[in-house]
Amino acid sequence: MKILLAVDSEDKIPMSLTAAEHLSEMPEAEVVELVYLNGGIAAVVEKNRIASILKNPKIQVYACGTSMEARNITKDELAPGVIYVPASLKEIIKRVQEGYIYLTL
């Protein structure tokens, strides 16, 4: 099972970290992908904030380029291990078409 979790506000970041850890512990979970967009984009510029999930080999973290641009965040500011995508909505649609379970917080 492949899971995609979208996080669109800063106040949901702590919950997203817990959710990602719990989902990654499920034996049937192959990968848990988190896409941070809109206000949630704050998570990807603070290395310490998401350090726990960046160490987990089953979890991948994506940063929405559109949200970064709106907040004047550059790729150089991303925490190491965060993957830049130009537009998160395109990535979400692609993953849904690939059969990912799509969740939002």
Q: What pLDDT shows up at residue 105?
A: 86
Task: Measure the CA–CA gap between 31 and 11, rounded to whole angstroms.
Answer: 24
Residue type, position 95, single letter: R
Write down the residue that tokens 């970290």 correspond to.
17
Q: What percent of the chain has pLDDT over 70?
A: 100
Cα-flanking dihedrals φ and ψ of residue 12, to 5°?
Answer: -95, -5
Name the β-bridge partners of 6.
Answer: 35, 104
| Segment 14-53, tens digit of pLDDT | 999 999 999 999 999 999 999 999 999 999 997 788 988 9
Tens digits of per-residue pLDDT, 52-98? 899 999 999 999 999 999 999 999 999 999 999 999 999 999 999 99
- Domains of the chain, CATH where assigned: 2-104 (3.40.1260.10)
* pTM of the predicted protein model: 0.93
Q: What's the CA gap between 37 and 67, in Å, rounded? A: 6
What is the DSSP-derived secondary structure letter of residue 86?
Answer: S
Residue-level pLDDT at 78: 95
Terminus-to-terminus CA distance in the chain, angstroms? 19
Task: Report the DSSP pairing between strands 31-36 and 83-85.
Answer: unpaired
